[in-house]
Structure 1
Amino acid sequence: MPRAAAPGGPPPAPVAVHPASDLDDVTALVGPRRPDATVCFCLGYRIGSAENRRLRGPARRERVRELCAEDPPPGVIASLGGEPVAWAAIHPRADTAFARSRSIPHVDDLDVWSLWCLRVRPGYRGTGLTAPLIAGAVRFALDRGAPAVEAYPLDNRGETVDTTMAYVGTRAMFERAGFRVAAATSSRLDGFPRVLMRLAPGDES
């Protein structure tokens, strides 16, 4: 396994970001700890709520196997030396729970893609992986015709965010990636408001 860099430093080797088409990679990053779990695998926003509640254990893994075989697959993976170290969930908004969200508005009628989950593997956090992960996810979407990419991070104004809620990212994180605030939302996590941020072709940093 590649050695992690010091916290806050650059990744220890070039980061490769690729489509999440390998079930084992996805399982390593967002698979549940318990085999009978009804959570995680990053399915909550990707599939319908009824199906998400119904699937448990091996059935959840098999559903993710199906998604990994689709085009596009359910997100992207960042790897170091062939080792999967970070995950980003990204998909056309129309095919996610955000299409029906009452708390996160639609800015316009563009067929935007949503980027809603970032996860860096323990041992690699604080090593500068988030920037190339976001950039790779954006490129993944734009290369497949996305007119814009949306994210819904916390506007925490530099305050500490509980790690269990940090998966949505922060406003500052996405601003560094070239995203701009497009709308307020009525959604809150960990006591912080979320903002709708957007990046279109040509805006990438």
Structure 2
Amino acid sequence: MTTITTEAATTPRWDDVQHALTGGGDGASCQCVWPVLTNKDWNASTKEQRTELLREEIDAGPPPGIVAYVDGEAAGWIRIGPRTSQARLPRTRIIAAATAEPFDDGTVWAVTCFVVRREHRGKGLNRTLLDAAIDYARRSGARLIEGYPIDTGAVKVSTNDLFHGALSTFLAAGFEVKTEMKPGRPLVALDLAG
């Protein structure tokens, strides 16, 4: 029987974060700092600088994500946190045009990245990660969580593009589609205040 657990990404879990991010896809080079950098800063950064930025973010706290473990091995990652700490979101036209929430509201959080190591895909880790992220956001005072997933039933996507998450995962966790940003890319939200 496989045991799946989750933990907040804190400094003592740095090696686990790195293991989760380096099992396939763009996680190793991105270091999940794409959501927190503007395009200009992203384009000017190296993988080493992005790694250091993530380390600094985790060291400073609060945890910017959750790590999933399969039988004790770090197997997946999700970025969750206030939109105010994710600089790319208000600068992304389709998100800025679609959201009804003000970007300076720290109680509005966003899920912006999923990574699952290749050998652990197909085990439901994205749903486990999303459920843990919802619990974390609720305990941290979030009022609402947004997501920007891909509707895999409407558009064909590469595995690397699934870092946004699949619409089906968000719907299964109770999110509602608020609007379609572009074909196959809805904005979803979960109201935690209700």
Separation in structure 2 between the aligned mates of residue 146 and residue 126 of structure 1, nearest angstrom: 29
Whether contact under 8 Å (1:87, 1:120) holds in the other structure is yes
Matches within 5 A, 1:160-199: 160-186=156-182, 193-199=184-190
Map of 1:19 onto structure 2: 8
Map of 1:70 onto structure 2: 60
Which piece of structure 1 moves more, 155-164 or 67-76? 155-164
Q: Supply the RMSD in Å over aligned alpha carbons.
A: 2.5
Whether contact under 8 Å (2:178, 2:189) holds in the other structure is yes
Map of 1:5 onto structure 2: none
Equivalent position amino acid for 2:17 in 1: V
**Is 1:46 the counterpart of 2:36 in the alignment?**
yes
TM-score for both structures, normalised by structure 1: 0.79
Equivalent position amino acid for 1:113 in 2: W
- Equivalent of 1:108, from 101, 117, 121? 101
Matches within 5 A, 1:6-155: 12-13=2-3, 15-21=4-10, 22-31=13-22, 39-96=29-86, 97-104=88-95, 105-109=98-102, 111-155=107-151
Separation in structure 2 between the aligned mates of residue 32 and residue 47 of structure 1, nearest angstrom: 23
Equivalent position amino acid for 2:91 in 1: R
Compared CA separation, residues 71 and 179, structure 1 to 2 (3 A): same
Compared CA separation, residues 156 and 55, structure 1 to 2 (3 A): same
Equivalent position amino acid for 2:100 in 1: V
| Bigger radius of gyration among the two | 1
TM-score for both structures, normalised by structure 2: 0.84
**Unmatched runs of 5 consecutive residues or more in structure 2:** none
Compared CA separation, residues 202 and 128, structure 1 to 2 (3 A): farther
The secondary structure found in structure 2 opposite 1:107 is coil
Q: More helix by proportion, 1 or 2?
A: 2
Compared CA separation, residues 71 and 58, structure 1 to 2 (3 A): same
The secondary structure found in structure 2 opposite 1:77 is strand
The percentage of counterpart residues that share the same residue type is 29
Separation in structure 1 between the aligned mates of residue 147 and residue 16 of structure 2, nearest angstrom: 23
**What is the count of residue pairs matched by the alignment?**
184
Which piece of structure 1 moves more, 53-62 or 161-170? 53-62
